[in-house]
Amino acid sequence: RYPNARQKGNLFYTEPPAEDLARQRCSFCQTWEDAPLPPFSADYELFDADKIQVPLCFRHWQEGDRLQPLGMQQSKLVSDLFTNAHYSPVRKALTWIVADAFGRILWVVGLRVADWCKVTPDTRHVLKLSLSSD
């Protein structure tokens, strides 16, 4: 089924055929909530809604995209984040990026969130984003 299966060292990995990837669709659910925060879950991410300019843009990675990951003082190329996480070219191409109306990336879905829009004790309004695959 996966003719492009490859082996790297002791690891054997495959990627779905391109026709399977072309059929993938994703949808996002967003809710605006007042603090206090909902309990932590891996099913969603939380952002300080007052720091984000809407509308949000949901797109795929582009050359030159940068993100200041949570807890870091400097920005990194999104492509470097993908490399460090050992993303395949297909996974890299399919990963969603969420940016605000100013083009600032707030979330590389499934990988990292931005420090500039993190929830802090001073946060009054929370944006809760979750990804659901259809």
Per-residue pLDDT tens for 87-115? 998 889 888 889 998 999 999 988 999 99
Positive/negative CA dihedral, 56, 58, 61, 63: negative
- Altogether, the residues listed in the chain come to a count of 134
Segment 70-84, tens digit of pLDDT = 999 999 999 999 999
Structure tokens at 100: 């605000």
pTM beyond 0.85, yes or no: no
Task: Round to whole Å and give the CA distance between 94 and 85.
Answer: 14
**Nearest to 40, CA basis, from 134, 101, 126:** 126
Q: Is 4 exposed, middle or buried (0-12, 13-18, 19+ CB in 10 A)?
A: exposed
Enumerate residues 6+ apart whose C-beta is below 8 A from 41.
none
Segment 45-78, tens digit of pLDDT = 888 989 999 888 888 889 999 999 999 999 999 9
Task: Round to whole Å and give the CA distance between 69 and 112.
Answer: 6
- Give the pLDDT score at 23: 43
Structure tokens at 50: 């007052």
